[in-house]
A and B are shown apart, each in its own frame.
Chain A
């Protein structure tokens, strides 16, 4: 079967999984359904011939699931107030988003056809093995992120460092004793 058929099937599966994740009442089931969406994108990356990205997406998805399950403490903390439920806002949101979808259908005709990318810059990397000759590494994606565009990877490390710093600062404990102190950065 051609790749496009597999992708359509997986995308429909992911859409159903995401709607289930948002509407279900039990929060543990919702977190597991998000795992379906994340692993579905990892399978889609494999169909689109990107194994590097599939490994990274799979591992970071598992890590995000672990952190999210840690945030879920007991089922009774998540019972919402019935009075503040607003059916009008839900209806208006669905109508507006459906309108956005219908109005933007024309725009998808202007995109390049699926399977025919415009490879202007990447032609230099792919043709005749230029990237393999200049950097001598067999993995083209690694040679792009660590040799041709190493400055972007420096920015990425900085953003990850700042986000982890923020997380550790928020989860700081103020106690009197020195024994149970969270890590200070």
Chain B
């Protein structure tokens, strides 16, 4: 993956389509309790949107646009947030990871207790983790090429 990215036609189009892919990914995460989907496929879609930026615009642009430290912290704290939701379940009812938020009406967007909350946590974690795998593969290629010279 060269540092400059692709031609100018690709750069102009991805500037528009990246936001569409992001909106689609967030839609699948948020409606996880109403339609098929949930946290896992939504996280992969958002990671693929970031990969789109990385391929089309190059490494330098992505490093300035996406803050790597923020993604790093997001992945680490998502696991702890899941445990905090579980421990809050112990404090409200007696059981770990119980559904303690008010349940609401069927087919509403805000319903089903902790299920949308857990979906969002899982989506953030999967997205950050998978994007880091792709980023380190991109950086590794650069380093091995430099050693060969």
Min CB–CB distance B2 → chain A (angstroms) = 15
A92 within 8 A of B: no
A146 within 8 A of B: yes
Chain B contact surface mostly? helix
User: Range of interface residues on chain B?
Assistant: 35 or more
The residue on A at minimum CB distance from B128 is A164
Chain B residues near A (Cβ < 8 Å): 28, 32-38, 40-41, 44-45, 47-48, 51, 68, 72, 75, 79, 82-83, 86, 96-97, 99, 103-107, 111-115, 118-119, 122, 125-126, 129-130, 132-137, 139-143, 146
Q: Which of B68, B86, B105 contacts A136 (CB 8 A)?
A: B105
A26 within 8 A of B: no
Known: A51-B36, A138-B33, A150-B118. A171 touches B136 (CB 8 A): yes
A153 close to B38 (CB less than 8 A): no
Known: A66-B51, A150-B86, A157-B122; 14 extra A-B contacts, CB below 8 A, are: A67-B134, A135-B112, A136-B105, A136-B111, A136-B113, A137-B112, A142-B33, A153-B122, A154-B82, A154-B83, A154-B86, A168-B133, A183-B135, A183-B136
The residue on A at minimum CB distance from B43 is A59
Chain A residues near B (Cβ < 8 Å): 51-52, 54-56, 59-60, 62-63, 66-67, 70, 132, 135-139, 141-143, 145-147, 150-151, 153-154, 157-158, 160-161, 164, 167-168, 171, 173, 175, 180, 182-183
A132 close to B106 (CB less than 8 A): yes
A60 to B113, CA, bound (A): 28
Q: Give 9 nearest A-B pairs by CB, closest first.
A: A137-B112, A137-B33, A52-B36, A150-B97, A51-B36, A136-B103, A173-B143, A164-B129, A59-B44
The residue on B at minimum CB distance from A71 is B137
